[in-house]
């Protein structure tokens, strides 16, 4: 027998091979694919990290988006401060007058809605609020300065006069005010009363109240 036949067989290998050979044999990767050599600098890192870092890099800014952001920031600043465009004295007077007018309309509407529905105390309170709003609206022009008052009157009462009735009936547009001196006819007399003559009628000018009671059969009060 040769020398190789005298060796004992390996525990998990072919006869004639030692157990250390199996320990040193590298195990193939699963799937039958060979892995390349590892880079010690990238060991323990995610392979997709460079791609993500590339995607998360700085992007080019849109100029329209920047303008929208500035506009939104300006609007928020104005909303926080509560300051809008500055108004002229006439514009402030117009704004205050319209607010008073709207308030007066609401009070008037409430007064007429609750006229037959509210009790006396509630109706009196609503009526006082309506008259107070009306008086405040009427007295508002008197609180304005003289220069603002003139402009306000032109704005509030600046509509042209309507002469449709005068033109249709051929009436004078400018008339003189009537005089308060002289004799004037009573406008309440009917045409028949104007034509009647009561100069000979003296019945109502003769006699006393006792004669009238005796004529009518009325007893005198005791």
Q: Is the pLDDT of residue 174 over 90?
A: no
What is d(CA 161, CA 112) in angstroms, rounded to the nearest whole number? 31
User: Which of the given ranges, 2-6, 12-16, 125-129, 197-201, has the highest pLDDT on average?
Assistant: 125-129
Q: What is the pLDDT of residue 81?
A: 53
% of the chain beyond a pLDDT of 90: 34
Token couple for 152: 């306000």
Over the chain, what is the mean pLDDT?
Answer: 77
What is d(CA 82, CA 79) in angstroms, rounded to the nearest whole number? 5
Q: What is the pLDDT of residue 43?
A: 55
Number of other CB atoms surrounding residue 104 within 10 Å: 20
The model carries a pTM of 0.41
Closest to 16 in 3D by CA, of 4, 25, 26: 4
Q: What is the pLDDT of residue 132?
A: 97
What is the pLDDT confidence band of residue 141, given thresholds at 50, 70 and 90? Answer: very high
Q: What angle do CA 88, 92, 93 make, to 5 degrees?
A: 115
Strand residue runs (E) in 96-142: none
Q: Locate the domains of the chain by residue range.
A: 89-156
Q: What is the pLDDT of residue 124?
A: 96
Q: Is the pLDDT of residue 37 over 70?
A: no
Query: What digits encode the pLDDT tens for the residues 89-117?
Result: 999 999 999 999 999 999 999 999 999 99
Q: Is the pLDDT of residue 10 over 90?
A: no
Q: What is the pLDDT of residue 142?
A: 95
Instruction: Return the higher-pLDDT residue of 165 and 78.
Output: 165
**Cβ atoms of residues 127 and 111 within 8 Å:** yes
Q: What is the pLDDT of residue 93?
A: 96
Chain center to CA of 15: 100
**Among 57-61, 159-163, 167-171, 211-215, which stretch is predicted with the lowest mean pLDDT?**
57-61
């Amino acid at each position: 027998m040769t020398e190789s036949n005298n060796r004992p067989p390996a525990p998990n290998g072919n006869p004639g091979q030692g157990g250390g050979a199996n320990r040193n044999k590298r195990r193939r990767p699963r799937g039958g694919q060979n892995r390349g050599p590892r880079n010690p600098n990238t060991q323990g890192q995610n392979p997709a990290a460079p791609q993500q870092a590339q995607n998360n890099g700085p992007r080019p800014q849109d100029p329209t988006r920047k303008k929208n952001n500035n506009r939104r920031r300006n609007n928020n600043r104005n909303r926080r401060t509560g300051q809008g465009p500055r108004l002229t004295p006439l514009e402030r007077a117009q704004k205050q007058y319209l607010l008073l007018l709207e308030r007066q309309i609401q009070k008037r509407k409430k007064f007429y809605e609750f006229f037959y529905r509210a009790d006396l105390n509630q109706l009196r309170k609503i009526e006082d609020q309506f008259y107070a709003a009306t008086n405040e609206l009427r007295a508002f022009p008197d609180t304005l300065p003289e220069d603002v008052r003139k402009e306000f009157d032109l704005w509030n009462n600046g509509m042209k006069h309507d002469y449709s009735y005068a033109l249709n009936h051929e009436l004078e547009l400018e008339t003189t005010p009537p005089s308060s001196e002289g004799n004037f006819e009573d406008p309440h007399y009917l045409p028949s009363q104007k034509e009647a003559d009561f100069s000979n009628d003296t019945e109502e000018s003769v006699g006393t109240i006792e004669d009238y009671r005796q004529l009518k059969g009325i007893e005198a009060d005791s």
